[in-house]
Structure 1
Amino acid sequence: MNDDFPILAAVAANPTHPYALLEHLQALGLHVSRSTLYRRVEALAAQGWLDADDIRGESGHYRRALTLSREGLTRINAEAAAILRSEPLESPLFSLAVAVAERLDARSLTAALKPRMSVAARQLTEEERLLRPGGAEPWSRAARDRRIAHLQADIAWLQGLMGRRNVADGAFRQSA
């Protein structure tokens, strides 16, 4: 992954103009300055990964409308898949990769998230096993309870992203 991923991913998820892009990236918790963003947008447009057209806005001023080019689309799909496989779930980059995959390639999203959900399910099973009587020290029970709650939430969230819903008996079904 390189430093241009957040810019390309945000544009892929929602074509916009540079100022709105800056606000979006900052709202995600990414530290980016206006001058850096504008320089990178110009460079990405020059490299052919972004299409930038000057259009007249509602107030009559010209704005730079940003969209992802075909080359940018190819690049961002590959980078999003790599991030979905490796980045922590709480990361803003993971959120951007999910937004890209949902918009561009839902099949890749499911393929990348299934292994993540499997790992979380194995961790959950191990944590629950250690909570059985005689399996955990009394002082570690609260920490294990917390990890279990986080793992359950992560699994439910990943299921929702993949279009699955948890059924009462623990089985999964594809949502309509």
Structure 2
Amino acid sequence: MTHDAPLSLTEALTPNATRNDTIEREEPTQQFVLFRLEGRRFALPGHAVTEILGGEQPVYPLPGLPASTEGVIHLRGQIESVVYLHALLGMTPPSSPFASQMILMVNAAGLTSGVRVDQLDDVCDIAQSALKTPPDSLSEALRPYVTALFQYRESAPSDSADHDAVALLDASALFTAYQNGLG
């Protein structure tokens, strides 16, 4: 049923389920880069991730670096550090890189650095209304860096209800902690 004339107040208040016309509403979204560390899902804001590099990118270790720094990479004439988020988030860094790992180039808190992730899952838009406040029960190691949680469903058969919680990380807070020698 299409209306050429404006809806009456009664029609406007009638639930959509009882009418045949559809009302679409634009909802603000944010772009996120979803990835995994130790099988747990995390995301960074899309505006903070400037580039995604394959795991085969050579990383050169330097003596005396903190546990949160894997080494440096040479990227288009620039030397950039590569950070292990594992150490900043209270996880154990992998003993050696593996095939599914990627490096996300992140720009935040006045610093550009590579961030080693175990697996890249997706780059997607999430409705702002889907972002939930992190619970008080969040681990102490994650609390300073997680700004929100949201549910994410991978492309899967329609009968699958596989939703995973994703922790949205604050790139500026992570890089500030890194610059302050935490991790």
Q: When you count helix as a share of all residues, which structure comes out higher?
A: 1
Q: TM-score, normalised by structure 2?
A: 0.24
Greater RCO structure (CA 8 Å; 6+ sep): 2
Q: When you count strand as a share of all residues, which structure comes out higher?
A: 2
Q: TM-score, normalised by structure 1?
A: 0.25
